């Protein structure tokens, strides 16, 4: 592979631990670029016991020599960004030197949150399980060609005209459909014009920046948000996000061409979790699921919502690897399974009496899946903090090799705890990154 550029993507429904992995790998890259999603990502990084929760800013910013880029595929909430940069600055991060924001990224405004919150809580509407941060409606406006971009945010005259027109439309829609109180466009303009002045120093043409870095021999890592099965095209529609969460989104979301992408690294837990509504074939409904949730601290970094837990789903992982062109797998939270004497792994689906390994496109097909399980022996030994593969219990090694064989991608890293240092890098992956 060409290790100069790599995409790091979630293999399932997000929350796989991408934040920690991007942080660990960012030591080897000069730039980390975020390419999709909004401020609902909630990547958690723990460094020597200190916790950092990043929502918009790429995790690479925690490395002093690494530049962090927010690409054009991201929807940006200016207030959330300023709150996050303020916290990072207070923690000693040189955010003013390291952060760059695409002038083409779309802007989230208060009426986006108003519309999403009202729609999600309206009687009779199908609940998707959004975070109600305005991300979906901002992407809707982007596709309707009526959105506001960062470059427009910096033009005060255009900003005022846009807010006045948008509020007139959105207030009428929200009141008619949901009975929502109107937003004040004058107050909104005043707040966002002030925010624009603070954001302006970060703004640039990040496509030019990234392509220049690559052309001059630098290295770029593309950081995904959410996970493959939340992708707007390839996920469990309609219970998905509003952006391209797969590796392909790195191209459209940053303006770097596909021939400049060297490899794809997918992050998967040793089991599976999901937040919000939607199908989840291997979900565990008994005490075993509660135990995984407690051992893995499966609660949203931003929302605190408890995550649904399930056994590893090989057909889903194989599908994800196919969609992303995954070359390397990173397995996180192996230590959460240390207590189990037996570990079920889904290796096939039974749908209407027929066994298949094809992931259905429709929700009804997904909901009718009866998982076919292979049961592997658990190792029942502590693995937390182990940093060499050969030091893992033999049955833990076999569990990982089984996952590797069945999924069709090579395991390059294993995480055995939340801290940056609780990570093992396998020799082949280390060699590939060094090339």
List, by residue number, the catalytic residues: 15, 43
Query: Residue 271 burial (CB < 10 Å; 0-12/13-18/19+)?
Result: buried
The Cα-based distances of 167 to 122, 172, 185 in angstroms read 20, 8, 6
Q: Which residues of 391-428 are buried (b: 16+ CB within 10 A; e: fewer)?
A: ebbeebeebbebbeebbebebbbbbbbbbbebbbbbee
Q: How far apart are CA 30 and CA 218, in angstroms?
A: 6
CB 399 within 8 A of CB 268: no
The long-range contacts involving 154-158, CB below 8 angstroms and separated by at least 24 positions, are 154/103, 154/196, 154/199, 154/200, 154/203, 156/193, 156/196
Q: How far apart are CA 297 and CA 172, in angstroms?
A: 42
Residue with tokens 């703004």: 203
Say how far residue 327 (Cα) sits from the centre of its chain. 18
The closest of 231, 229, 213, 232 to 221, measured between CA atoms, is 213
Enclosing H/E stretch for 395: helix 394-407
For residue 30, give the DSSP letter: S
Q: Which tokens in the block code for residue 54?
A: 């990043």
For residue 145, give the DSSP letter: T
Phi/psi class of residue 129: alpha, beta or left (left: φ > 0; alpha: ψ in -120 to 50)? left
Phi/psi class of residue 174: alpha, beta or left (left: φ > 0; alpha: ψ in -120 to 50)? alpha
Q: Which tokens in the block code for residue 155?
A: 């033009």
């Amino acid at each position: 592979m060409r290790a100069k550029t790599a995409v790091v993507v979630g293999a399932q429904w997000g929350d796989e631990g991408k934040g920690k992995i991007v942080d660990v790998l960012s030591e080897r890259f000069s730039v980390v670029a975020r390419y999709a999603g909004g401020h609902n990502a909630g990547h958690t990084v723990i460094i020597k016991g200190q916790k950092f929760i990043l929502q918009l800013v790429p995790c690479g910013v925690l490395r002093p020599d690494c530049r962090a880029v927010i690409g054009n595929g991201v929807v940006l909430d200016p207030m959330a960004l300023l709150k996050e940069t303020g916290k990072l600055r207070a923690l000693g991060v040189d955010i003013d030197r390291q952060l760059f924001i695409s002038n083409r990224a779309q802007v989230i405004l208060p009426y986006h949150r108003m519309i999403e919150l009202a729609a999600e809580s309206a009687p009779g509407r199908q609940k998707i399980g959004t975070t109600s941060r305005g991300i979906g409606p901002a992407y809707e406006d982007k596709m309707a060609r009526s959105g506001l971009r960062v470059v427009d945010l910096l033009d005060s005259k255009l900003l005022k005209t846009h807010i006045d027109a948008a509020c007139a439309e959105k207030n009428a829609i929200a009141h008619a459909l949901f009975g929502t109180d109107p937003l004040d466009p004058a107050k909104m303009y005043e707040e966002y014009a002030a925010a624009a002045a603070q954001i302006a120093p970060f703004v640039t043409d990040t496509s030019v920046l990234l392509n220049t870095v690559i052309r001059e021999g630098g290295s770029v890592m593309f950081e995904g948000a959410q996970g493959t099965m939340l992708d707007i095209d390839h996920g469990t529609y309609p219970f998905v996000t509003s952006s391209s969460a797969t590796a392909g989104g790195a191209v459209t979301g940053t303006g770097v061409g596909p021939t400049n992408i060297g490899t794809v690294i997918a992050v998967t837990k040793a089991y599976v979790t999901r937040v919000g509504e939607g199908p989840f074939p291997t979900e565990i409904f008994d005490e075993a699921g509660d135990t995984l949730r407690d051992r893995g601290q499966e609660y949203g970094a931003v929302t605190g919502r408890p995550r649904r837990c399930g056994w590893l789903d090989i057909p889903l992982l194989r599908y994800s690897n196919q969609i992303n062109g995954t070359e390397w797998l990173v397995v996180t939270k192996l230590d959460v399974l240390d207590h189990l004497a037996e570990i079920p792994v889904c290796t096939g689906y039974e749908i209407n009496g027929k066994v298949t390994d094809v992931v259905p496109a429709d929700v009804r097909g997904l909901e009718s899946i009866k998982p076919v399980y292979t049961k592997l022996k658990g190792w029942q030994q502590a693995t937390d903090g182990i940093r060499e593969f050969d030091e893992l219990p033999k049955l833990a090694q076999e569990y990982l090799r089984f996952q590797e064989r069945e999924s069709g991608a090579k395991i390059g890293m294993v995480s055995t705890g939340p801290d940056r240092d609780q990570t093992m890098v396998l020799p082949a992956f280390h060699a590939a990154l060094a090339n």
